[in-house]
Every structure is written in structure tokens, then in C-alpha cells.
Structure 1
Amino acid sequence: MDSPHFSTKERILGAAEELFARNGFAGASLRELTAAAKVNLAAVNYHFGSKDNLVNEVFRRRLDELSTQRLDALARVLAQPRVTLEDLLAAFIHPALALSIDTSGGATFMRVLARAYAEHNERLRRFLSDNYGHVLKEFANAFGAQLPHLDKEELYWRIDIIAGALTYAMADFGVIKRSSSMSEQAHRERAAEHLIRFAAAGLRA
């Protein structure tokens, strides 16, 4: 059983994730957060110290694991005798797919991640770059080895666009909606397959 200390912190993080997905980072107030999490302001301050730190921890809770899964998948691909662009893209995309169908708030977090792309919050962007930029660099190196015709700037432009498209697709913002006969997992897997094909073509162009 979780300790009260742990459960209170997790409850605050879960409520914050929902509020940030719905209202954005600036638009979500601590008053709304305390009401949603059923805690007082002192509990938020005790566990996180500030709203900025709370935002960081919402991302850290998901992205630490996502980054590990991506790097592990990348290592498995690079250990194969023959490496394809599609395999590298799958290592980048499938862990995000798994997160997006996680029943403990994964889809909500993908919308939070989309907010981070959309809002011009330099402090948050710096936090994400400082803590998770190394993952993108590892994939960029692997992509670059497959794409010697691209210079570094062009390669990063294309990876940036792919990362944005991935977040958009996994947050389920697209115009193609899931049919009633298809499970959410099957719908997201189909989105991932389309994205891998599209991204591979874009990278090779």
C-alpha cells in the first residue's frame, strides 16, 4: 500500500496533469489544483515548493520512463546487423504510443506535452532541453548515420517536425477519429504505422 506521503504527491501530480492538459500552464491556478486534488496549498508547497517545480515534476514523472524506454529500444535496434530508418523511427515512436494508451493518464500527458510545444514558455522549454535533449541527440546521431546527404541543421528540422507530428497524433488531435469498431489501442497503432512511413519518407527526401 502506498504511504500517505506518496499518495498525496501522486494525487497532486495527477490533478495537475489534468488541469494543464485542459487549461494550459498559465491558465491552471493553484486554487483549482488544490480543489481538484483535495489538498490544501500547504501540501502543494511542501511537496513541490512552487508551481514551476510542480510543472517540472509532471513532466519528469512521465518523461524519465519514456526516455529510458526509447534509449533501450534504440540500443536494441543498433545492436542488429542491419539497421533501417523505419526501425529507428519505431524505437522513437512506439514508446510514445505505449504511453498514450496507458490507462493511468498517459493520453492526458500527451496533451500536456502538446501544450509545451504550443505555449511559449522558455523556462519549461529549457527544462525539457536540459533534462531530455540528450535523448533526441542519440536518435539524431542514429538517423544521421542513415542519412549522410543531410546536414545537421536540416536533419534537426526534420526530427523536430516528426516529434511535433508524433505528439499531435498520440494526443489524438487529428481529424481522423477512431471508428466504433476499432479499439483505442488499434487506432493508435495505426496512427503510429502511418507516422513511421510518413516520417521515413520525409527524412529520406
Structure 2
Amino acid sequence: MTLSVDAVPDQDRKGPGRPRSARVDEAIVEAVFELLSAGQSADGISIEAVAAKAGVGKATIYRRWPNKEALLIDAVLAMKGPLPEPRGESARDDLVILVAAMRNKRMEQYGKATACLMPELFKSPEMHRVYQGVAEPRRELMRSVLRRGIASGELRADLDVEMSVLVLSGPTLAQNMLRWNPNVPDDNFAESLVDFVLRGAHA
């Protein structure tokens, strides 16, 4: 759905010195998501198309981002959202929280958008670095949960932390982006995946 300028007023047009409108920023990034989720490749997206989708002028976008690449980078950053907060009660429960945060309803749209961004990540070292920078805090959060589980005796002392992070994250991303195995139900996905992995990780 295309947003109108009236619905999302651009405070940038009201004179110098005014703060940027967060609503306009969100509308522009949302327009990128919608275009990617509709199957538009990152290469094929233009500033003109984003502006039309967001209901703003091209100049409004260029006041915020110097080029399309910078806009895509911010879209990747916004895609992930804030870090989830583990409770610290058990490694199992905290891992469920982390995996579930990657499988919320919003992630279905983001998964499609990420799939369309994949060619850009392969071609552009800068985009790949940005994506890694966005993913790394989440990986480190999962590492910290696993290390805490090892320290408490809940998990095996010889557990390969990096491989565990990969095994927990990979299927989640594959289901988000590709619905890789439609025979795996969405209901209780996080609990099922974590419990499956932990069968070999428990002390």
C-alpha cells in the first residue's frame, strides 16, 4: 500500500532547523521492505520507486541517505529491530526466546526482503560487512546464553558454541526466507528446534 504525504507529513519541508520526521523515515524504510517483499531485487529498486511507494519526494530521501546503497544498509539495520532480552533463568528458555524473536509475524515479511537482498550481500563487500555487523550482536547474545549454560552445568562442557549458534540460527533463517521445509510446522517452532538441538547438548 502506498502511503500519502498527507498521511506521513514530511517535516523537512517546513523550513531549516526543523527535526527530521521519524514517521517519514519509517515510511521510507517500510517502502523498501514492501518492494523487496513483493519480489523486487535490490538492484532493481530505484529511489524513484521508493519515493513513490512512501509518498514522498526524491529530495526527501536524498536528505536522509546519500544513495540507494546507504538506504539499503539502514533497511537491513531496521529489519532486525532491538535485541531480545533473555530472562537468565535457563539456557533452554533463553534460547527459545532468541529463536522465537527471529520467527515473529513481522519476520515473515523481513525474511522475504532478506532473500531479495541476498544477491546484494554476495556482490557488495560493504553490504556483507553491514549485514554481519547487524547479525553479530545477536550471535554474541546466543553465545552468552550457551556459555552460561555450560558454566552452570546445564549444557555439556565440550559443547561447540559456534556450531550450536549456526545450528540454531540456520534453520530459522531458511524457514523465514524460503519456507525451506513446509512440513515443519510454524507452531512451537522455537521450542521444537531448541529442544531438538539440546538433546545432544545437555550435560
Residue in structure 2 matched with residue 43 of structure 1 by the alignment: 60
Over 3 Å counting, the alpha-carbon distance change for 1:202 and 1:29 in structure 2 is: farther
Distance in 2 (alpha carbons) for counterparts of 1:48 and 1:42: 10
* RMSD (CA atoms): 3.1
Residue in structure 2 matched with residue 190 of structure 1 by the alignment: 188
State whether residues 99 and 172 of structure 2, in contact with CA within 8 Å, keep that contact through their aligned partners in structure 1: yes
Distance in 2 (alpha carbons) for counterparts of 1:159 and 1:147: 15
Over 3 Å counting, the alpha-carbon distance change for 1:158 and 1:3 in structure 2 is: same
Among all aligned residue pairs of Structure 1 and Structure 2, give the percentage whose two residues are the same amino acid.
14
Over 3 Å counting, the alpha-carbon distance change for 1:176 and 1:124 in structure 2 is: same
Residue in structure 2 matched with residue 58 of structure 1 by the alignment: 75
Shift, 1:16, TM fit: 0.4
Aligned residues: 178
Indicate the structure (1 or 2) with the bigger Cα radius of gyration: 2
Task: Please tell me whether residue 101 in structure 1 is matched to residue 105 in structure 2.
Answer: yes
Residue in structure 2 matched with residue 136 of structure 1 by the alignment: 139
Give the TM-score normalised by structure 1: 0.69
Give the TM-score normalised by structure 2: 0.70
Distance in 1 (alpha carbons) for counterparts of 2:136 and 2:180: 26
Task: Please tell me whether residue 125 in structure 1 is matched to residue 136 in structure 2.
Answer: no
Residue in structure 2 matched with residue 19 of structure 1 by the alignment: 35
The unaligned stretches of length 5 or more in structure 1 are 179-186
Distance in 2 (alpha carbons) for counterparts of 1:116 and 1:138: 24
Structure holding more helix per residue: 1
Opposite residue 148 of structure 1, the aligned amino acid is A
Over 3 Å counting, the alpha-carbon distance change for 1:164 and 1:24 in structure 2 is: farther
| 1:27 counterpart SS class | coil
